């Protein structure tokens, strides 16, 4: 499939350009880096646009600003200009002071108070506005990273039909960590505005799925979640590097000359190499301490190995980063002071940016590459090192908490918090036999080359297109607005109309606890208005107990049917009647089993009805509840085999009811109670128990079934949600 067939609108915090002014002359230079490299091809080939902040251009004169705009337009870049205050508060104050440490599990670095949320939200609105201004039908919109988590939902509100992808380039934390954030709901809901949400690893995707389950109550069967009738795909797309470019640089004569110079300068010493941004997530202090421990524990390495640590300046104006730089400098100074000899310095510390050629030369010259972040979304340095070694030599020491660890099993993986073990692994890496080095490196190179940054970009774009295709298929299953309007008009004109309405999941969304799904005033008014229309009878057909329906809706002039039809009150002035000849002798034994499961599952509860039992686990810890429900279902199937009961699996509930008790039996009762001529029967429901009701209806046009949601159904008509179901019912009262 040609991924350039549709225009690609890329959105990131920064544009892939650098604006330079030298003696009044303005230049716009393309930036390097994995993201810019990987997306340059799709951006150019699709005739796409790239939206982002161009950097601080506040000091440009008006003429320079006009020249900049012209340059950016030529590059198909759309600037979102931000003031210095906005950058300070949205980028430094919230994105990097709150989200960055939180998503990297460094909770002690989160400020005690943050007043920057409003600015973060406002800047995300600015980005959504910028996208909406340039969007055209058919565009693919791809939004990047934690600075713009709210944009997908904001853009969805502006352009409901937009095809939106979101990719998170940093780790997504475990739900226990995310839930610390006061704005956790807004962050999750913002991301869920996309059609496709991408992560580097299965672990990050799993953490996101767990978080939306625990925070928003949304379950994720497989790799999808349904929100407001939209199906959202959760994907895993580990980003790669430009393997071909690094391989080419590694053979460049200038690079090879630099490699020879580095090796000559080392005078036979083995080289441990670390290259990182100077960021507290990269684990530099612990890496230095592990190197110190190596020199303490194995004195034979003194004078025979050096650690070259390149620390690229990062966020120099942020106080916490200034303090971190001071800490690193102190470690370097102390270790060098303790172990240096007249002709040997253990740590060569470089605090500046290096050219790509110099970096690749260091990769080729190193004996051991040390990549030991405390937490990292991916870490492309590890992949760059591998692709820069056409000699298939060198050893990679890699933190198990880097996203790259999931793909790089041949690396020597370490826990960066374990100083003693890291020191031992450094020694193992330095002593590794040549044959083993080549074996490990060869396997790493083959894998990383096949999953380069271009493969990453193409995979995501193809998945985004297919995700919209899946959503289109789901939406195609919904009844069109025109057909719903025609149905509404037909029902309004019916001489006699009987409405058979399920409650939970149909008229109200599912609640965390059964008793919390009480009818709101709007629903009570709607049911009353429907029942007041001439020729219209309203019946609630629910699995709820008789007592609950009586308490919530018993005063309304409608029919009530509880426990899937075991109890019925066909009108306000009629008594409750139960089905005859229904045995409940099985309940005592089943109750014991359910109570055992409840004891073992905090948050679960047993609901007892006249003729059935239900085990609810919506309030249980999600993973535990799902596992216990699976175990309980299997046990009950064995225990109840041959018994006159059936097992129903619903949304966070398992119900056991007598065979023959189902909602379809209600059709007989309402028809017996109906006055001539025969009424039009309309049934509306969302789950498997409602299928019994649908199947018992007379054929159209006398019987009409309306499914709610996206599960398979025999219903001729389908709406997306309880809100849409109520809107259809309201149209019977108030013609629109």
Residue 634 CB neighbours (<10 A): 10
What is the C-alpha separation between 491 and 107, in angstroms, rounded?
58
Q: Treating both helix axes as pointing N-terminal to C-terminal, what angle do 151-158 and 184-191 enclose, rounded to 10 degrees?
A: 60
| Half-sphere exposure in the Cβ direction for 366 (13 Å, CA) | 30
Dist CA 437 CA 5 (whole Å): 44
156 closest CA partner among 499, 394, 406, 468: 468
Residue 429, CA distances (Å) to 270, 412, 571, 694 in order: 11, 8, 81, 68
H or E stretch covering 184: helix 184-191
Q: CB-based contacts of 664: which residues, under 8 Å, 6+ apart?
A: 565, 692, 693, 695, 696
Per the annotation, the verdict on 502 as an active-site residue is yes
Of 279, 502, 687, 690, the catalytic one is: 502
**Phi, psi torsion values for 82, nearest 5 degrees:** -120, 140
Q: What is the dihedral angle through the alpha carbons of 388, 392, 395, 401, rounded to the nearest 10 degrees?
A: 60
String of DSSP letters for 585-624: TTHHHHHHHHHHHHHTSTT-EEEE-SS-EEEE-TTS-HHH
Tokens 């966070």 belong to: 652
Query: Strand locations in 438-509, DSSP E?
Result: 497-501
Report how far Cα 495 is from the mean position of its chain's Cα atoms.
Answer: 50
What's the rounded Cα separation, in Å, for the pair 202 and 352? 34
Q: How far is CA 192 from CA 100, 142, 150, 188, in A?
A: 20, 13, 9, 6
Query: Would you call 226 helix, strand, or coil by DSSP?
Result: strand
Give DSSP secondary structure letters for 41-86: HHHHHTT-EEEEE----TT--HHHHHHHHHHHHHTTEEE----HHH
The Cα–Cα gap between 511 and 518 comes to 9
CB 57 within 8 A of CB 81: yes
Task: Write out the H or E segment, with its range, that includes residue 638.
Answer: helix 622-639
| Structure tokens, 159 | 């352009």
Three-class DSSP category at 416: coil
Radius of gyration of the chain (CA): 32
Per-residue DSSP letter, 565:
G
Cβ atoms of residues 388 and 408 within 8 Å: no
254 three-state secondary structure: helix
**Total residues belonging to the chain:** 736
For tokens 């509840």, name the residue. 625
Q: Which residues are catalytic?
A: 502
């Amino acid at each position: 499939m040609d991924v350039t067939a549709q225009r690609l609108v890329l959105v990131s915090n920064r544009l892939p350009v650098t604006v330079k002014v030298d003696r009044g002359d303005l230049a716009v230079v393309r930036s390097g880096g994995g993201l810019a490299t990987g997306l340059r091809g799709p951006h150019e080939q699709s005739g796409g646009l790239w939206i982002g902040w161009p950097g601080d251009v506040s000091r440009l004169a008006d003429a320079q600003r006009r020249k900049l705009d012209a340059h950016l337009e030529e590059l198909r870049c759309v600037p979102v200009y931000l003031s210095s205050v906005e950058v300070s508060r949205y980028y430094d104050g919230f994105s990097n002071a709150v989200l960055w440490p939180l998503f990297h599990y460094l909770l002690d670095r989160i400020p005690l108070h943050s007043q920057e949320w409003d600015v973060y939200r406002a800047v995300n609105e600015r980005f959504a506005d910028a996208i909406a201004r340039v969007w055209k039908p058919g565009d693919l919109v791809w939004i990047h990273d934690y600075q713009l988590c709210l944009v997908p939902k904001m853009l969805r509100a502006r352009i409901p039909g937009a095809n939106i992808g979101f990719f998170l380039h940093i780790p997504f934390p475990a739900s226990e960590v995310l839930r610390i954030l006061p704005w956790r709901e807004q962050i999750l809901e913002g991301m869920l505005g996309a059609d496709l949400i991408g992560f580097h690893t299965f672990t990050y995707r799993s953490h996101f799925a767990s978080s939306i389950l625990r925070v928003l109550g949304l379950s994720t069967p497989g790799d999808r979640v349904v929100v407001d009738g939209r199906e959202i795909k959760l994907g895993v797309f580990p980003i790669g590097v430009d393997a071909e470019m690094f391989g080419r640089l590694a053979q460049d004569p200038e690079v090879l000359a630099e490699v020879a110079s580095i090796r000559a300068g080392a005078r036979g010493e083995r080289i441990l190499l670390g290259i990182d941004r100077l960021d507290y997530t990269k684990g530099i202090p612990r890496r230095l301490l592990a190197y110190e421990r190596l020199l303490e524990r194995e004195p034979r390495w003194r004078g025979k190995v050096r650690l070259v640590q390149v620390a690229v300046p990062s966020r120099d104006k942020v106080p916490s980063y200034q303090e971190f730089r001071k800490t690193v400098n102190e470690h370097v100074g102390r270790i060098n002071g303790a172990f240096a000899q007249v002709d040997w310095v253990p740590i060569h510390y470089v605090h500046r940016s290096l050219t790509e050629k110099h970096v690749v030369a260091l990769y080729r010259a190193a004996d051991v590459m040390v990549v030991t972040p405390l937490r990292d979304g991916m870490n492309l340095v590890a992949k760059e090192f591998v692709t820069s070694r056409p000699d298939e030599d060198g050893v990679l020491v890699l933190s198990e908490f880097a996203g790259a660890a999931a793909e790089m099993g041949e690396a020597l993986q370490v826990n960066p918090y374990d100083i003693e073990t890291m020191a031992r692994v450094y020694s193992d890496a330095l002593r590794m036999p040549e044959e083993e080095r080549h074996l490990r490196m060869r396997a790493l190179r083959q894998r990383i080359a096949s999953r380069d940054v271009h493969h990453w970009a193409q995979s995501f774009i193809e998945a985004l297109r297919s995700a919209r295709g899946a959503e289109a298929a789901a939406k195609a299953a919904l009844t069109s607005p025109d057909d719903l309007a025609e149905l509404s008009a037909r029902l309004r004109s019916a001489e006699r109309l009987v409405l058979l309405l399920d409650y939970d999941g149909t008229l109200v969304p599912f609640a965390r606890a059964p008793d919390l799904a009480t009818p709101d005033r709007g629903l009570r008014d709607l049911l009353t208005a429907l029942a007041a229309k001439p020729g219209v009878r309203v019946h609630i057909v629910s699995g709820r107990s008789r007592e609950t329906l009586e308490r919530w809706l018993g005063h309304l002039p409608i029919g009530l049917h509880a426990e899937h039809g075991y109890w019925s009150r066909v009108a306000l002035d009629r008594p409750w009647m139960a089905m005859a000849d229904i045995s409940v002798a099985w309940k005592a034994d089943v109750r014991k089993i359910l109570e055992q499961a409840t004891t073992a599952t905090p948050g679960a509860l047993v609901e007892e009805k006249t003729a059935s039992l239900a085990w609810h686990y919506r309030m249980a810890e999600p993973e535990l509840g799902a596992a216990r429900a699976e175990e309980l279902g299997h046990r009950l199937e064995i225990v109840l085999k041959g018994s006159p009961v059936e097992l129903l699996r619903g949304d966070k509930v398992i119900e056991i009811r007598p065979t023959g008790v189902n909602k379809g039996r209600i059709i007989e009762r309402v028809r017996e109670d109906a006055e001539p001529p025969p009424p039009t029967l309309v049934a509306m429901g969302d789950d498997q128990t409602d299928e019994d009701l649908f199947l018992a209806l007379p054929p159209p046009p006398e019987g009409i079934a309306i499914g709610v949601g996206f599960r398979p159904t025999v219903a001729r008509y389908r709406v997306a949600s309880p809100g849409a179901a109520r809107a259809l019912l309201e149209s019977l009262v108030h013609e629109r």
